[in-house]
Amino acid sequence: MCQLLGMNCNTPTDVVFSFSGFAERGGRTDHHSDGWGIAFFEGRGLRHFVDHQAACESPVAALIRQYPIKSRNVIAHIRKATQGVVALENCHPFVRELWGRYWVFAHNGDLKDFHPRLHASFQPVGNTDSERAFCWIMQELAKSHAGVPSVAELTLTLRELSQRIARHGTFNFLLSNGEALWAHASTQLHYVERKHPFAHATLKDEDLSVNFAEHTSANDRVAMVATAPLTSNEEWTAFATGELKVFVDGALVG
């Protein structure tokens, strides 16, 4: 099983604290050592880092832990290969462009007998079930809407598409277009909303704690989504099976 991490905020925020704990799961505190990746939106632009080395050993992951890239939408993934070989083209998150925006997708789980007809402009580069599912979602979004629809409309379409894919197996995923963060759970996904008054948080995987009050202002809002709670002293809410949630500006909106 892979691990997912997503962040959605109303103010560009760095992910150094959460990523530090998360990256430890890539080969040190957990066994997800078949590559990792992270994507940061900056406005409409995107920084995308993937590596087939274990996150706890990767020089690129070390850079991310030290260099505070500020973003309002982040998706990270640590891979434990179930389908597809260990190779760069199979590392999540995957990126495609649709309607003049980048879309970023990461998946945790395993899909059986999922071979949809990909007749349009989105074809997988690697050979994972995950990238296949992403290409199908992009294809079906493109068919359902002529231009970028509202977040509410996209959520309705994504709910329907997720259900159809989830019949094939475990389909926990994160998706963002830089405007919203969508999260779908089949089996395991948790979220926490951080807002004023901010408090201390202690990482589960590393001997590290941070006082968010020192790094934030009263209006900041940050939503975090992760496979398993990253901190030991915050209240993380578990997703129900089959739930698709959407976060905008650091708040759960649907």
How far apart CA 27 and CA 174 sit, in angstroms, is: 22
Total chain residues near its own copies (CB under 8 A) = 37
Binding region for its own copies (CB under 8 A) out of 1-9, 105-113, 120-128, 244-252: 120-128
Q: Quick check: is 9 catalytic? A: no
Cα of 26 vs its chain's centroid, Å? 15
199 contacts its own copies (rule: CB under 8 A)? no
Beta carbons within 8 Å of 164's beta carbon, 6+ residues apart:
none
Return the C-alpha torsion angle 231, 76, 246, 238, nearest 10: -40
197 binds its own copies (CB under 8 A): no
Among 2, 9, 91, 135, the one annotated catalytic? 2
* Residue 100 lies near its own copies (rule: CB under 8 A): yes
Residue closer to its own copies, measured from CB, 63 or 199: 63
CA distance 49 to 38: 5
239 near its own copies, rule: CB under 8 A: no
Task: In angstroms, give the least distance from the CB of 59 to its own copies.
Answer: 5
- The beta-strand segments (E) located in 112-203 are 169-176, 181-184, 190-194, 200-202
Indicate which single residue of 125, 152, 199, 238 sits in contact with its own copies (rule: CB under 8 A). 125
Nearer to its own copies, 70 or 195 (CB): 70
Site membership for its own copies, residue 196 (CB under 8 A): no
Of the candidate spans 56-64, 106-114, 153-161, 192-200, the one that interacts with its own copies by CB under 8 A turns out to be 56-64
Q: Are 35 and 93 in contact (CB under 8 A)?
A: no
Pairing assessment for the beta strands 169-176 and 3-14 based on DSSP bridges: unpaired
What does each C-alpha distance from 16 to 7, 32, 62 come to in angstroms? 11, 19, 10
Span interacting with its own copies, options 73-81, 97-105, 201-209, 243-251, rule CB under 8 A: 97-105
Strand order in the sheet with 169-176: 94-98, 101-111, 169-176, 181-184, 244-248, 251-252
Q: Do residues 170 and 183 lie in contact, with contact meaning Cβ atoms separated by under 8 Å?
A: no
Comparing CB distances to its own copies, the nearer of 125 and 152 is: 125
Q: Which of 19, 36, 114, 122 binds its own copies (CB under 8 A)?
A: 122
Contact 198, 207 (CB under 8 A): no
Q: Which span (21-29, 55-63, 168-176, 184-192) binds its own copies, by CB under 8 A?
A: 55-63
Please select the residue that binds its own copies; options are 1, 9, 15, 91, rule is CB under 8 A. Answer: 91
Residues marked as catalytic:
2
Residue ranges that bind its own copies, judged by CB under 8 A: 42-52, 59-60, 63, 66-67, 87-91, 95-102, 120-126, 142
